[in-house]
Amino acid sequence: MTLIKSISGIRGTIGGTIGENLTPIDAVKFAAAYGAWLKQERNKETYRVVVGRDARISGKMIQDLVMNTLIGMGIHVIDLDLSTTPTVEVAVPMEHADGGIILTASHNPKQWNALKLLNEKGEFLDAVEGAKILELAEDQSIAFADVDHLGKITKNDAYVDLHIEAVLELPLVTKKAVASAGFKVVVDGVNSTGGIVIPLLLEALGVDVVKLYCDPTGHFPHNPEPLKEHLTDLSEAVKKHNADFGIVVDPDVDRLAFMDENGDMFGEEYTLVACADYVLSKTPGNTVSNMSSTRALRDVTEKHGGSYEASAVGEVNVVQLMKKNKVVIGGEGNGGIIYPELHYGRDALVGVALFLSLLAEKKITVSALRKSYPDYYMSKKKIQLTPELDVDGILSAMETRYQNEKLTTVDGVKIDFSESWVHLRKSNTEPIIRIYTEAKSQDEADTLADKFIEEIGAIAGIQ
């Protein structure tokens, strides 16, 4: 069991011992640290924080602990209850709140939960701010409010509708064209809040929706990471219902993947590529993704006359580079679309609306759309960390071994070969080393990944 404190928030498994897992004591401790940080940063008379959660089994417990900790500090809470990560991000500035917390462990299995922390813009905290919160979490002198100055909880269940409305009002979302296209779509909501929100969005766009695992019980019917091997039921449902395509989101609805009309994966990496292709065709400009994402985004961006740059992995890193480069669309190759026209956060709702608008315009099948993009194939593998593994030493050894290749070391080690690349890095969200590769065929990508796993094993003495 594990507790991970990183740029992606405070993430851990439910149960176990304090300090090693996400126990109730740890939830209170980090919520109090966030509250103390907020007061230092904002320095106001009154404070407001938006709180929402995905449908995880532990969600209600963790949310109650977090909200009551905040009101114990004299901070008012806007309770969105069952919500999505992008919905909370949108709600923070709409509420003129001082920050936000989402209770979700994103793609992790059901035993995990996490506190994702937002600033007053509804954006994730950066590394410096996160480090300050970790420091405050060890501070025994955090002050709580007296009885006359406790915060209050206000429930607000309007923000899912407000979020959908904001997406529909985007100029590039062509509601009439989408409705006229007569799409039928199967939605896999992995029994979390995507099963509520995505069908509502699709119905508002005039799409015929077939629901699969859209009951928000938190009992995930399969591994919630939206990868091909987890989505056999969605594939069968798309074919059974003669649907135009399938949609799957992760439990907190910031990652998005599509399945074509044949029940084959469109490719999680190509979610951003397709949405960027559409946006760039209307609003030329630059793009950003992280360095574990496909080269196809670079190719599509350059086709439209823009420039592409890669950031370190982590949404906050992508957003920082997007702002610096004034990009029109960006995100992460894991199906995370960031469209600044609405907000600086990964948002599956925006991705769905842009993708449908693209399909309605092109009047082609999803499989034909995929064939219109450059062919790259990615392998995503991992090595489980154990206490004896010296990750920094392993990465340093790989850097030395491949010093004559094009290297990037801002986030682990990325090695760019002429026709392929490999990225080795320690995960922010799981106790693993990630090995991502991309090549011109799946066999080449898998072979390259296996080669590097063997090399790491040899260096670490685990093979």
**Number of other residues whose CB lies within 10 A of the CB of residue 458:** 11
For this structure, is 106 an active site residue?
A: yes
CA distance 257 to 227: 8
Buried (b) or exposed (e) across 216-237, using 16+ Cβ within 10 A? bebebebebbbbeebbebbbeb
Query: What is the number of residues in the chain?
Result: 463
Cα separation, 403 vs 288, in Å, equals: 26
3-6 vs 9-13, strand pairing mode: antiparallel
| CA Rg value for the chain | 22
Alpha carbon 191 to chain centroid distance? 17
**Residue labelled with tokens 């600086």:** 344
Q: Which among 387, 399, 389 is positioned nearest to 462, based on CA atoms? A: 389
Judged on CB neighbours under 10 Å (0-12, 13-18, 19+), 40 is exposed
Give the pairing type, strands 406-408 and 329-332.
unpaired
Which among 8, 58, 83, 106 is annotated as catalytic?
A: 106
Q: Helix, strand or coil for residue 46?
A: coil
CB 311 within 8 A of CB 319: no
Q: Is 368 helix (H, G, I), strand (E, B) or coil?
A: helix
Name the 3-class secondary structure at 328: coil
Q: Return the active site residues.
A: 106
